Amino acid sequence: MGKDDHEWETAGLDGLTVGRAAALVGVSVRTLHHWDAVGLVRPSGRTWGGYRLYSGDDVARIHRVLVYRELGFPLAEIARLLDDPGTGVRAHLRRQRSQLLERISRLQRTLGAVDRMLEAEATGMRLTPEEQVEIFGDDWQPAWIEEAEERWGDSAQWAQYAERAAGRTPEDWKELTAETHALDADLAAAKRDGVPPGSEEANALAERHRVLLSTYFDCTHGMQVCIGRTFVDDPGFAAHYDAIAPGLSVWFRDVISANAEAHGVDPETATWE
């Protein structure tokens, strides 16, 4: 008869042997031995022969340890958290639930990004940084894509952008870039000519911009206002537009806001929706 068999035979009705507890929670016997040695989970009882016996409360503590470990906490920190006299079982469960929901959300966003990359790779149309600079110009920074994904990556609009981008050829991107440069030139000319925001000409330019954005994702006037704010608030965008024409960033933001107001959107309270 082996040691494990002996443990099973000598286990009382008031607890689980280390082998049975390990099988129940899905860890190894060696792991439970280690957690006992470091004081993380100590069994509440012993058999007459000195073998470990785990109570229901012990098993519940093991489960809490497993959740914290899954969340990335080191064992020493887990011990400190579990032994905090000011934190009860329900508080631990609530905290773990909240942290698990946060991790699930992060994993879902990561999964979405991987799915979009797989789709892009499958079409063979994902542009390299060198291709981006060649198509979009020498002042293009490939890192802008990463920054945009960090800001909007969990939105439905980013998913639309990724899906549409995956199906575009380099020629498609060149055409869109040409349209963007043409719009920039017309914006600069209007700014130099003193075209006021809210005028018919300025509103037409704002609508051209919104239609161009809508080739990437469905863009409402409220969303366009949010984007227009970044033309002033974001140093990179501000430098880009002001390099085309001095003061263009502020003027263009005001043009977008005035056009949105003409379409029933209050630019002061516009949100991304």
Output the six-digit token pair for 212. 């161009």
SS3 83: coil
- Give the pLDDT band (50/70/90) at residue 114: low
Q: How many residues does the chain have?
A: 273
End-to-end Cα spacing for the chain: 69
SS3 186: helix
Residue the block writes with tokens 């006992």: 36
Q: What is the pLDDT of residues 179-237, one digit of tens each?
A: 988 999 999 999 999 999 999 999 999 999 999 999 888 899 999 999 999 899 888 88
Class of residue 167 by CB neighbours under 10 A (exposed 0-12, middle 13-18, buried 19+): exposed
Q: What is the pLDDT of residues 131-171, one digit of tens each?
A: 555 555 555 555 555 666 666 666 777 778 777 877 777 78
- pTM > 0.75: yes or no: no
With CA atoms as reference, report the closest residue to 52 among 74, 82, 30, 77. 30
With CA atoms as reference, report the closest residue to 256 among 147, 193, 183. 183
With CA atoms as reference, report the closest residue to 117 among 145, 147, 151, 144. 145
Q: What is the pLDDT of residues 73-94, one digit of tens each?
A: 888 888 888 888 777 777 777 8
- In this prediction, residue 124 carries a pLDDT of 42
Percentage of the chain surpassing pLDDT 70?
A: 77
How far is the C-alpha of 244 from the C-alpha of 189, rounded, in Å?
10
